[in-house]
Amino acid sequence: MNDFNAILSQFNKITLNEMNKVKLLDRLDKKYMFQSDMLPGILDKAMQSYFVLDIEGKRFASYETTYFDTPDYEMYTKHHDGKLNRYKVRFRTYTDSGIHFFEIKFKTNKGRTKKNRLQLQEDSLLIDGDKAALLERKTLYKPESLLPAITVNYNRITLVNKNLTERLTIDFGLAYHNGVANTSLPGLIIAEVKQDRSRVSPFIDIMNEKRIKPESMSKYCLGIALLINKVKHNNFKPKIRYVNQLLSKSA
C-alpha cells in the first residue's frame, strides 16, 4: 500500500462533485485483471492522463457490496452462459462514509451497461418500498424471489481522464463471504474502463503495452464460482485458472 499511496499522492486530484460530471450510468465497460505488484508501475504511467478521486485527503475508498440472486443463481448462470439482457442486483456501502445504495445493473444485448440506483437512509438488506418498486420497474424479478448470494469487501482507486470522458476503477484487496464460506484474493487487481462510447484510452494503451488482455469476469461471478459448488463453472474455468496464476505470481 505504501507504493500505491506514494504514487497516488502525485496525481492531480478531482473531487466527488467534479467527478459527478462523469457518472456514465449508460456505458461501455472493459475489464482487466493483473497481479498487484504491477500496479505501482501502471499508476506511474497513468499519472499524466488521469485525475484521482480524492475524498477528504484519501485517494482510495473501501466498499462492501452484497449481491442478490435467485435461490438457483439465475443471474450468475445467465452470465456464465454468455447471455445478454441480464441483471445484477446489489446493495453497496461506501464504508468510509457510511453511504448506502441499492443498485440494479443491466447488460443489454448491445453490450452496454445501464445502472439505476437509490441512495438509502439506513443500512438494510430488505428489498421493500422504493427499492421493491425500482426492482419491479427495471427487472423481471420480484423482491420475494431474491436472496443475498454473496458479499464482497474491497478497496477502490477511482481515476478520471483529463477530458472527463472516461472513468477507471481499480479494485484490490478482494474478500468474499456468504455466511458459510469465505475466501480472499489479496494479490489480484481488477481494473475497469468505463466510457459512454468507444474512445481512445490511455489506460487501454498501457494494458496493450504490457500485453494484458481484457478479461470480462465480474467480481460477483468470480466470488460465486469460487465459493458455491453447485453452480456451473465450466465456462469460467479458464478465467479462474488465470486468476490462480496471477495469485501465484504475486505470492
As a whole number, the mean pLDDT across the chain is 91
In order, the DSSP letters of 2-60 are: HHHHHHHTTSPEE-HHHHGGG--SEEEEEEEEEEGGGHHHHHHHHTTTEEEE-BTTBSS
Q: Domains of the chain: which residue ranges?
A: 2-250
Q: Residues 47-62: pLDDT tens digits?
A: 999 999 998 889 999 9
Cα 57–Cα 154–Cα 132 angle in degrees, nearest 5? 105
Lowest mean pLDDT among 89-93, 108-112, 121-125: 108-112
**Residue 65 contacts by C-beta under 8 Å, 6 or more apart in sequence?**
90, 91, 92, 93, 151, 152, 219
Other beta carbons within 10 angstroms of residue 41's beta carbon come to 13
> CB of 142 within 8 A of CB of 127?
no
Of 198 and 72, the structure prediction assigns the larger pLDDT to: 72
Which fold, 2-250?
A: Hypothetical Protein Pfu-838710-001 (2.40.320)
Lowest mean pLDDT among 113-117, 174-178, 188-192, 225-229: 113-117
User: What's the CA gap between 163 and 248, in Å, rounded?
Assistant: 37
> CB of 189 within 8 A of CB of 171?
yes
Q: Has this prediction a pTM greater than 0.75? A: yes
For 233, counting Cβ atoms within 10 Å of its Cβ (0-12 exposed, 13-18 middle, 19+ buried), the class is: middle
> CB of 172 within 8 A of CB of 188?
yes
Q: What is the pLDDT of residue 28?
A: 78
The SS3 assignment for 103 reads: strand
How far apart, in Å, do the first and last CA atoms of the chain sit? 15
Lowest mean pLDDT among 10-24, 77-91, 233-247: 10-24
Give yes or no for residue 69 having a pLDDT over 80.
yes
The SS3 assignment for 153 reads: strand
The SS3 assignment for 187 reads: strand
Instruction: Identify the H or E element spanning 247.
Output: helix 237-250
- Residues, the chain: 251
The SS3 assignment for 131 reads: helix
Q: What is the pLDDT of residue 198?
A: 67
Rg (CA), the chain: 18
Q: Residues 13-40: pLDDT tens digits?
A: 999 888 877 665 556 788 999 999 999 9
**Residue 41 contacts by C-beta under 8 Å, 6 or more apart in sequence?**
none
User: What's the CA gap between 212 and 34, in Å, rounded?
Assistant: 7
